[in-house]
Amino acid sequence: MVNTAHITGFGIALPDPVDQDTLWDGYFARHFAEVPVAGRLFRGAQVRRRHAVVNPVLEDASTWSTGTRMRRYEQEAPSLGATALSAALADSGLSPGEVGLFAVASCTGYTTPGVDIRLSAEFGLPADAQRLVIGHMGCYAALPGLGAVTDFVLARGKPALLLCLELTSLHVQPPTKDVDQVVAHSLFSDAAAAVVVQPGSPRSRSALTVVDVTALTDATTSDHMTWNVTDLGFRMGLSPRVPDALARHVGPTITGLLGRHGLTTADVDAWAVHPGGPRVLDTVAEALALPADALTTSRRVLAEHGNCSSATVLLVLHALRASGRPRPGRYGVAMAFGPGLTLYAALVQAT
């Protein structure tokens, strides 16, 4: 058993971009023509562009069966995942033959043999490498995934890979008057993000030590956010009460996480907060009394990429590392939210 585990490599892969205005003018203005506030909601999402394997301006997937959508997932997901994994392995200096565990988180597609098996074969992972698939946890899945691979690394002394791969564009829904559907369709996007976690002394001076992971689930608010399998893809339910529920729990959860290590919010040098939407970020900033610029990177990721479900918090953490935050010896907090309602957070420290 080893004492420390470190994130030593990041890899990001994105499908073709499309501007938010193009999506609105070319598709969603017509799609939500019976919702008077739809245009205002799209503008208020604070998203400038998104990425999509299925651009609705070019392909209208809203009438596709779930089977058709899953076949498209099977076609598109492996290549996007492979690009992210290649970059993460190269960034860490890890060879595929050293991998002891490969975990894949996705809530937007399912196939068996899965992406984990196909990519294991493509990259030449050892035949005895363990695999873990984390399905349908939604936007926060990267952090329980990080916790699982970190526990493996600490217990077995072997490196691990985590891939978060989400193709939300496959799940555009038929026209509706439901405002929560407008909000969801104004935010969600596609991405793959991978991290390498290694034991012992990090090989890179830019590594992040995974110090702790914590979670809180409030089952009394389980109806606030849903992700249901229907005959026409997966349908999101998104209540406007989500920020209010988060406001009750963010402060105690994060101060509890930090307090276990003798820290306060003032000791945190970087905040990688999942940008579930502008109101979510505003709620976190207010609940933790953060400085005005603390969530600038989260807001930038939202603007440039939209909400990419489980991959998003890794996009934010990667962007922070690229900018040199957290600084050596300093701490960072990664935080994400999803169905449950569930709040997950990880404490990391830069080497």
Q: What amino acid positions are annotated as catalytic residues?
A: 139
Pairing relationship of beta strands 225-230 and 233-238 according to DSSP bridges: antiparallel
- DSSP secondary structure of 257-316: HHHTTT--GGGEEEEEE--S-HHHHHHHHHHTT--TTTTHHHHHHHHHH-B-GGGHHHHH
Helix (H, G, I), strand (E, B) or coil at 111: coil
- Pair 239, 223: CB distance under 8 Å: yes
Total Cβ atoms within 10 A of residue 25? 12
Q: 188: which DSSP letter?
A: B
- Pair 13, 84: CB distance under 8 Å: yes
Which residues does 43 contact at the CB level (< 8 Å), separation at least 6? none
Q: How far apart are CA 276 and CA 230, in angstroms?
A: 23
The stretches of 198-266 forming alpha helices (DSSP H) are 242-259
Q: How far apart are CA 243 and CA 275, in angstroms?
A: 12
Which residues does 293 contact at the CB level (< 8 Å), separation at least 6? none
Q: How far apart are CA 199 and CA 279, in angstroms?
A: 37
Q: How far apart are CA 115 and CA 291, in angstroms?
A: 40
Q: How far apart are CA 103 and CA 98, in angstroms?
A: 15
Helix (H, G, I), strand (E, B) or coil at 145: helix
- Pair 7, 82: CB distance under 8 Å: no
